[in-house]
Structure 1
């Protein structure tokens, strides 16, 4: 197998390979596992409630698609926790490495595209209310979501193609890029091909999954704010707080990841920065994954009606469980009572038979 010239061997040299884990590493693994469990539970709850308990609306379709993408991403997070707990070694093979990485990038693109689409949708409702009233409907939003998922899948294909399980001399296996896959047939320079592919994928992620969606989000909410100010409308505090939270969370979760991948491209392979970047990227990716844990809080729990639906759904589930338990307890009690009553009847019959036998014997002796 051909690999691109990298700094993997320098970064993960035998001298740097330590046996055992520090307390900070154990705490990080525990925190990562905890966040992944919370993300799975809350996104699963939102998908179940919005998908089956909430009446179809434009907002519910946006939230359902966002929560579905986040649920898909958080469902794969435990594998990364196992990767960290195993000494940063990938043990699931090359095929699953590509699948796992593809889910990460798919969620990255879907989340960015959906956040931008939701921002534009809110902007159109405020700026073009008549157009929104006439043309904005559930069918249109559903088609837009299908297009968003399709675009995200297309953007994810290159990352699936160049992801691989890379063995190191130290015995570790990295789930990372292998730009030397699918090399051209004509004469080529391996270093040049790897550099061009690496730069292309980095800037695809940077522009399509971060800068352009972030620009759309900021401009959309800026237009909404300016339009409301021109009308003299009072912006609700909840709206302002939600806008700030969305923009800040999106930047804080994804900016470190994109910063490190750009730094990885800019730094030479033999530079010491490469070692720092390779160690920092898993942490930055975890922070990016954490956006899937925060999205339900920002976009769902900020809606009072949806929170009420969730509480009612949880209450209905608990009532159902309690009802089943009470029914089972009642059934057991009735079974016990019926068995006791049957035993009492049988005892009474036996006593009556014994009494009759005694009377017959006494009559026979008297005669």
Structure 2
């Protein structure tokens, strides 16, 4: 089986079905060269996603975790950044596989790299549901929210969210396999049964997209109605929430659309499906770098704290440089962090 992207899961192309799907495999090879330009472009995009995603999400974890006061909303955002960071940490392995078509990292990393994408998908969408529901409850039941909305409870909900996300990611760990053909190792998904493949696809779509989407739409509708009758000093938190939600769904809609089409492979064009899944997988990966960009450009508090933190670090570095130079400067007091 030739797999340019780890996300493209052709159940009918696994070695178990190699004989009966010989014609489809031949067709796949015939248009492989025509997609080389797309593959090279997506490799470059994934490298950018990995670099910016690792740096940006590390920054969000640092600012929200150590420089800002711990609140319920920062608990949500830290967890979101950790999810994105973990995915970006595994993405370089996928980039190597995209370039070489050889998987030298072993079976364990084959399973973990594929699982990282779906763990990121579930955890992100569940966190967006939590953020939407949290904002909805704050506006609809302010007194109850003030008395019961605590960081400790938010942390407990986040732990449950991670457990649920891990359980839903199990199919990637179970069905991901490696095989060797002519000294070339391939990392692929072997469902062994079309009905099993379809069940996994539908579960991902329903649990990782449809149900969360309906909950978020409901919460957003309630928020819109309530906010019209209230005077809010700052709408920045709500703007961040809206942009995070929109970015997630715009990034994941193409992937889910093509995966659903791919589950009925015989009735659709193979080259269109593979190209669509490649682009959809890359868009899904891009969601991991969008969050920190949103915080920087929309979140005023985040920008101010980041600026003060960097200024303080520069001041400390300059003071240390002067001290090691043998001078006795007047020490500038670092700026107090929030």
**What secondary structure, in the 3-state scheme, does the structure 2 residue paired with 1:90 have?**
coil
1:136 counterpart = 2:149: yes
Match of 1:176, SS?
strand
Helix, strand or coil at the partner of 1:44:
helix
Displacement of 1:236 in angstroms is: 6.0
Residue aligned with 1:141, SS? helix
The residue number in structure 2 matching 1:205 is: 204
1:105 aligns with 2:114: no
For residue 215 of structure 2, what is the aligned residue in structure 1?
216
Cα offset, 1:124, TM superposition: 0.2
User: Residue 40 of structure 1 aligns with which residue?
Assistant: 54
Change (3 A) 1:47 1:124: same
SS in 2 for 1:165: strand
> TM-score scaled by structure 1?
0.76
C-alpha separation in 1, matches of 2:215 and 2:208: 11
Higher-Rg member (1/2): 1
Q: CA deviation at 1:3?
A: 1.9
Counterpart in the other structure of 2:253: 255
Partner residue, 2:280: 284
Q: Secondary structure at the match of 2:263?
A: helix
Residue 85 of structure 2 corresponds to which residue in structure 1? 71
Q: Contact conserved, 2:197 with 2:263, CA < 8 A, in 1?
A: yes
Partner of 1:126: 139
Checking the alignment, whether the CA contact within 8 Å between 2:104 and 2:185 is kept in structure 1 is yes
Aligned: 1:306 with 2:302: yes
Does the Cα contact within 8 Å between 1:10 and 1:275 map onto a contact in 2?
Answer: no
Does the 8 Å contact 1:253/1:288 carry over to 2? Answer: yes
Aligned residue among 20, 26, 40 for 1:10: 26
CA contact (8 A) 2:254 2:280 kept: yes
- Seen in structure 2, the aligned counterparts of structure 1 residues 101 and 127 have a Cα distance that, compared at 3 Å, is same
The Cα of 1:297 is off from its aligned counterpart by 2.9
Q: Distance in 2 between matches of 1:210 and 1:142?
A: 23
Q: Measure, in 2, the Cα distance between the counterparts of 1:52 and 1:236.
A: 24
Cα drift, residue 216 of structure 1: 1.5
Could you tell me how far 1:245 is from its partner in structure 2? 2.4
Q: SS of 1:252's equivalent?
A: helix
Q: TM-score under structure 2 normalisation?
A: 0.82
Equivalent pair of 1:33/1:78 in contact (CA under 8 Å) = yes
Q: Shift of the alpha carbon at 1:99? A: 0.8
What is the Cα-based RMSD across aligned positions, in Å?
2.8
Secondary structure of 1:114's counterpart equals helix
